[in-house]
Structure 1
Amino acid sequence: MRSLDSFSPEELDALLETDLEEITDDELLADVCFARFYDFFLEFWPTIETVELVPNWHLEYLCDQLQEVFEAWERGESQPDVLINIPPGTSKSTTVTQLFPAWLWLRAPGTRIISSSFASSISVGHGVKSRDCLRSDKFQRLWPGRIRFKGDEDGKMSYRNTRGGQRYVTSSGGAVTGVHADFILVDDPLNPMLSASDASLKQAAKHLETLSTRKTDKGRSVTIMLMQRLHEKDPAGIWLTRGEPLRHICLPGELTPDPKTGELGFNVKPKHLVKKYINGLLDVLRLARPALAKLKLALGSYGYSGQILQQPSPEEGGRIKKRWFRSMSWPAFLENVPGAKTAVWHADGDTAYTEEQKNDPSAVMVSTVLQNTLYVRYSGEFTLEAPELLAKLPQLLKDNGFGMLSKFYIEPKASGKTIVQMLRVQTKLNIVEAPPPMGGKTERVNASTPFIEAGRVVLLDGSWNEALINQCAAFPNAAHDDRLDNLTQAIARATKPQAGLSYA
């Protein structure tokens, strides 16, 4: 408990309306904790945690942001959802999912709360700790009788108080039927210990969509999601690309430079928080340099980049490193590469025809092989309906060196077969169904990496260079990988030529 002499003159001036001698330490403490969530957080940490709290500036900032959200809700104001990206081991769950709900009930006992995590056991644990705080001797002493639990509705998955408040606990993939909430707390919708699979991403996205329908007031109710980044299409990635207003707090474990501008801490949000970092670190005690080095070793480049740096693709690349790609200007290519002036250019296509941006785009790459090196002249993506796609391809290929000897290899999936048939009828392009890919996508990428690492992929200068490199470096966490599919298809053909399909 904080003693009377621990309060600043400003706190005393703001809270004391009676003679100082007439107020007890408990009454003063109750007023302070009621008025500010961060003070409540500091005081009630020991009611749910056995380890000693190590304060850091980010905890105070998060508490104050959460209080702003509550006070806007209390005033009946419409406000955006909240996304918090922060590394593990920073007390994020204790702050947001355990103590904040307890303070919400202190301030507004009738508040209805839904909380969710990737696993039911985790969600239940968060809910139980909030209840432990509310039932603690300290809470009951400071605010006697303010929160009483309904005996017939006091379970681990759901509990209510006698003033209309409810806490309902669920998990990704769990049911949320007949329950609505003023605050929806989503804490790690994906398991950070496992690689994000297509199935887990879809399940988390669907669950998040379901939770969005559970708000008591679509404008006033707020969803607060906190997680470390795991994939470009993880729930945080979905929120960041949906184009809606968002209160985004992104606190990477250390400051890293923008690959384009060199700006340090380019992904910290809000930007002014960069000044809070000490020696480039978010928390010099919890996440000191030695601790970060161990995490990088344990998590690998993928995990470290997402979970610690909040960048779902590592800057240097994952399986495929950015530095492996070489580049060359068109004049240098023509002047210095034997056979460049008479090269036959071929194309690889991964076609999809739809205007819906949520679907994969069509991707086309134009390249040639000279002296066991793949020279890429063009790589692009576009989302078009079939008529527009058919109209675009012939001119695009002609602009990139296509001639009578050139071949257009199209991946033989369902939409690819249709495009093959239509192109053969409507154009003079030499269309070839590429051989069915061998193995899964990861196997194909792994088979291509020695060729790329050996410097055998050269990109001729173009505005598309960075997009191709970034997509390759992001694998397997990229939102789309169609350009990469083109590249691995071309490499497979160059390294294991088949009769009638080589670059001869």
Structure 2
Amino acid sequence: MLPIDKNIYQQLSEEGTKRFSKIKKEDRIHYGKEFGQKSLLAFARYIDPNFQSPKHIKTIIDLLEDMEKGKILRAILNLPPRHGKSQICTRIFPTWYLGKHPETEVIIASYSNKKAERFTGWIRDRIEAPAFSAVFPDVAVRDDVRARSDWQTTAGGVVIGAGLSGGLTGEGAGLLIIDDPYKNMEEATSETMNEKIWENYLSVAEARLAPDARVLIVHTRWTRNDLTGRLLGEDKDEE
């Protein structure tokens, strides 16, 4: 047998993986309906026809499934922009979580009310769609409380979207997701903004959440003094 160049072999393997890992639309639908309640990956591929699952996304999905089961209660995910973190973490995951726990109070926070509302509105719209009902038939949005940034499920669940810089005082939840607390580098390097975000995080995450609440923080790193840096103690390294 002739020796095979390792680089060529790797390229062929990667190309083969790409070809044979593609899932047809009809397979996504069938598999999603069958296994969407148990598998976040199956649900993601079903509820979002354009969903892609490279290796890092599958790793994130494993983490999120462990969070839903209560094996992990708090997690931080730091990734560069355009890596699919918001789609799986802040849209699809809370949609799936509410399907399994429709009585849960959920807070989605971001750098502005408008940004957070995009997430909570997306979740609401998916839960009201027939595709979701095919997987979770007993979960629905209340007709009388359904604003994009503040709505409820018929099982008593509450979903609120708000800007972290504006404050979430008085709100509590069983699932808190913070996605991009900073709009840009200017906000992330502002001492005033960092203090405000830190204080508002503490007012909810350390004071208002249930003991077994899940807390997921997702954002791009900017400085050692950003939210992740403070939580990990990196800001003290600068002193």
TM superposition score category, shorter chain reference: 0.7 to 0.9
| Deviation digits for residues 27-60 of structure 1 (CA, Å, limit 9, x no counterpart) | x6423111111111111123xxxxx334311111
Q: How many Å apart are 1:231 and its aligned residue?
A: 0.9
Q: How many Å apart are 1:2 and its aligned residue?
A: 5.2
What residue in structure 2 maps to residue 107 of structure 1? 100
Would the aligned equivalents of 2:173 and 2:208 in 1 still touch at CA under 8 Å? yes
| Deviation digits for residues 133-157 of structure 1 (CA, Å, limit 9, x no counterpart) | 112231123433x222122211122
Q: How many Å apart are 1:62 and its aligned residue?
A: 0.7
1:34 aligns to what SS in structure 2? Answer: coil
Q: What letter matches 1:87 in structure 2?
A: P
Aligned equivalents of 2:186 and 2:53: distance in 1? 29
Q: What letter matches 1:70 in structure 2?
A: E
Q: What letter matches 2:103 in structure 1?
A: G
Choose which of 111, 117, 132 in structure 1 pairs with 2:125.
132
Choose which of 196, 210, 220 in structure 2 pairs with 1:216.
210
Aligned equivalents of 2:40 and 2:161: distance in 1? 22
Residue 148 in structure 1 maps to residue 150 in structure 2: no
Aligned equivalents of 2:185 and 2:82: distance in 1? 13
Aligned equivalents of 2:73 and 2:231: distance in 1? 11
Matches within 5 A, 1:205-284: 205-212=198-205, 213-217=207-211, 220-241=212-233
What residue in structure 2 maps to residue 44 of structure 1? 47
Aligned equivalents of 2:167 and 2:201: distance in 1? 12
Aligned equivalents of 2:114 and 2:185: distance in 1? 15
Aligned equivalents of 2:45 and 2:186: distance in 1? 32
Q: How many Å apart are 1:237 and its aligned residue?
A: 0.4
Residue 198 in structure 1 maps to residue 191 in structure 2: yes
1:35 aligns to what SS in structure 2? Answer: coil
Would the aligned equivalents of 2:32 and 2:43 in 1 still touch at CA under 8 Å? no
Higher RCO, Cα 8 Å, sep 6+: 2
Would the aligned equivalents of 1:86 and 1:227 in 2 still touch at CA under 8 Å? yes
Name the CA shift for 1:54/1:31 in 2 (closer, same or farther; >3 Å): closer
What residue in structure 2 maps to residue 189 of structure 1? 181
Q: How many Å apart are 1:116 and its aligned residue?
A: 0.3
2:70 aligns to what SS in structure 1? Answer: helix
Would the aligned equivalents of 1:184 and 1:222 in 2 still touch at CA under 8 Å? yes
Aligned equivalents of 1:110 and 1:2: distance in 2? 31
Aligned equivalents of 1:234 and 1:128: distance in 2? 27
Q: What letter matches 2:69 in structure 1?
A: E
TM-score w.r.t. the length of structure 2 is 0.81
Q: What letter matches 1:108 in structure 2?
A: H
Would the aligned equivalents of 1:118 and 1:189 in 2 still touch at CA under 8 Å? yes
2:143 aligns to what SS in structure 1? Answer: strand
Aligned equivalents of 1:197 and 1:143: distance in 2? 44
Q: What letter matches 1:93 in structure 2?
A: S
Aligned equivalents of 1:111 and 1:131: distance in 2? 14
Residue 158 in structure 1 maps to residue 150 in structure 2: yes
Q: How many Å apart are 1:174 and its aligned residue?
A: 2.3
Q: How many Å apart are 1:189 and its aligned residue?
A: 1.0
Would the aligned equivalents of 1:184 and 1:224 in 2 still touch at CA under 8 Å? yes
Number of residue pairs the alignment of both structures matches: 214
Aligned equivalents of 1:84 and 1:129: distance in 2? 21
Q: How many Å apart are 1:227 and its aligned residue?
A: 0.8
Aligned equivalents of 1:64 and 1:187: distance in 2? 19
Matches within 5 A, 1:403-442: none
Aligned equivalents of 1:80 and 1:115: distance in 2? 16
Aligned equivalents of 1:107 and 1:53: distance in 2? 21
Structure 1 runs of 4+ off > 6 angstroms? none
Q: Which blocks of at least 5 consecutive residues in structure 1 are unaligned?
A: 8-24, 47-51, 74-78, 243-356, 359-477, 481-504
Choose which of 73, 79, 86 in structure 2 pairs with 1:86.
79
Q: Which blocks of at least 5 consecutive residues in structure 2 are unaligned?
A: 1-23
- Comparing 195-204 with 111-120, greater Cα deviation is found at 195-204
Q: How many Å apart are 1:172 and its aligned residue?
A: 1.8
Q: What letter matches 1:99 in structure 2?
A: I
Aligned equivalents of 2:220 and 2:171: distance in 1? 27
Q: What letter matches 2:58 in structure 1?
A: E
TM-score w.r.t. the length of structure 1 is 0.40
Aligned equivalents of 2:185 and 2:124: distance in 1? 27
Aligned equivalents of 1:147 and 1:65: distance in 2? 24
Q: How many Å apart are 1:194 and its aligned residue?
A: 2.9
1:95 aligns to what SS in structure 2? Answer: helix
